[in-house]
Amino acid sequence: MDKVIIFDTTLRDGEQAAGGTLNVQEKLEIARQLEKLGVDVIEAGFPVTSPGDFEAVRLISQEIRTPSICVLTHANLKAVDDSWEAVKGAANPRIHIVLSSSDIHLFYQLRKSREQILQMSCDTVAHAGKYCTNIEFSAMDASRTEPEFIHQLLKAVINAGATTVNVPDTVGYAMPHQFGDLIEGVFKNVPNIDRAVVSVHCHNDLGLAVANSLEAIKRGARQVEATVNGIGERAGNAALEEIVMAIRTRADFFNVTTNIDTKQIYRTSRLVSDLTGFTVQPNKAIVGGNAFRHSSGLHVDGMIKKAVTYEIIDPKSVGIPSSSLVLGKTSGRHAFRERLSELGYSLNDEDLNRAFAAFKELADKKKDITDRDIESLVAEERRTVSEEYHLDRVQVTSGDQGLPMAGVRLIGPGGKTIIEGASLGTGPVDAVYKAINLCVKVPNSLTEFSVKSVTEGIDAIGEVLIRIESDGVTYTGRGADTDIIVSSAKAYINALNRLLAAKKIAK
């Protein structure tokens, strides 16, 4: 069977989703997991947009050796030069040049003619060829471009040195059959197409990103660009896990394969969700909380008799343990390590010790600890590894007859300074946040606050997600605890630490 190249753009297009900013270390952590997942290409960022993106691409290029590391760049000679500086340390670097092709973009945005677009495209592709031979060209908004111009443009950039040509449905406009015809037309009308890999990049504005991507594969495309959990600009991108599992589950229909280790899918999904702050909706295909849960009596009856009656995918094949082992305070380190392994986590001794200590502390508060509790613990420990400020204590007094009051103690930079603050507020969370502001004097505004239960039951861990804004940039914070006020404080400290880290990089 032919192999489909899986091009992951979680760290570039995925991060462009509003509120989805990642810091350098978080990008590196996701890149490590994408390598375990087995993606062929990691689009590590857009280096010319910020010093942070440049540094993330540079570090990923140095450390991640198996996948090709790709950088996105404008069709601009200096942008190509600067992007190469970020990615040149990669084992197999790729330069990805993007330029609009539709008359809508040319007239209203770029104010350039088709002839100018052809010249710019060929010039930058040829310039990139001075640095490497792995060059991709994307004709942005291809699905709203006259097919004849797409054919002309792709032929020209292949002659200039492009080895991958990408046909994007940038605004999610295409219908599957229509998009398939566009891809088929490329094979029929671009005479030198045999010298390049045909790629697709679909957005989900009409909910058709995965359908369009799969139709393109059926019509001959052999690279598909996607993001974990389908995150991305506006309504997002094609979901990597859905495309991969469709190809695997319906191998009889597509007759293609991928290099993806599907058992890493769930772990990758959780990591991206934890670090970006984008919750996976319960009914999400493949990785949603309800994807392998059954409620209807008819379905449950079928599952008891034979799982294949209502499950076309074995949950273990995507890394979800089918068993429901519950741990408690009598569970030892070995059982805890084994469960972490089953959930896809591989921790070093130091991280394991921290996670196990947190597990024991939680076990004193709630009787049974589920897989989601364990995942939340590991995510919480990850958030505390590189902190500028650490929440040491929080005390709150509130009720319907008195003024809400809060006191906090923080451990400051270097772990040596203790800072304390106290404040009144309109409610307990407001009082806590005002007390923290007295300690960490960083101007910001809270733009989003949400609380959810990680598991069922009155003793469940409460997870808080917040977003704050400073100087026009949004930062996400998450915190988890059996006490939602403590969770709220942890989430705010987490967001502030991200903000401070970003400002350090900017300097």
Tell me the chain's radius of gyration from C-alpha atoms.
25
Average pLDDT over residues 239-262: 98
Q: Taking each helix axis from N to C terminus, what angle separates 349-363 and 333-342, rounded to the nearest 10 degrees?
A: 110
Percent of the chain scoring above 70 in pLDDT: 94
pLDDT in tens, 443-494: 999 999 999 887 777 778 888 999 999 988 888 888 988 899 999 999 999 9
Model pLDDT, residue 296: 62
Model pLDDT, residue 384: 58
Q: Find out whether 133 and 169 touch, Cβ atoms under 8 Å.
A: no
pLDDT of residue 324 exceeding 60: no
Which phi and psi (to 5°) does residue 277 adopt?
85, 10
Q: How far is CA 189 from CA 4, 141, 153, 421, in A?
A: 22, 19, 11, 69
Cα angle value 422/424/428 (rounded, 5°)? 95
pLDDT of residue 232 exceeding 70: yes
Ordered structural domains, the chain, with CATH: 2-252 (3.20.20.70), 390-506 (3.30.160.270)
Separation between Cα atoms, residue 199 and residue 226, nearest integer Å: 11
Average pLDDT over residues 86-91: 98
Model pLDDT, residue 506: 67
Which phi and psi (to 5°) does residue 31 adopt?
-60, -40
If one counts every other C-beta atom within 10 angstroms of the C-beta of residue 7, the result is 27
Q: Find out whether 484 and 464 touch, Cβ atoms under 8 Å.
A: yes
pLDDT in tens, 9-26: 999 999 988 877 788 989
Cα pseudo-dihedral 411, 416, 421, 427, rounded to 10: 0
Q: The tokens of 479 are what?
A: 């915190």
pLDDT of residue 83 exceeding 70: yes
Cα angle value 307/311/316 (rounded, 5°)? 85
Q: The tokens of 481 are what?
A: 């605890």
Model pLDDT, residue 342: 73
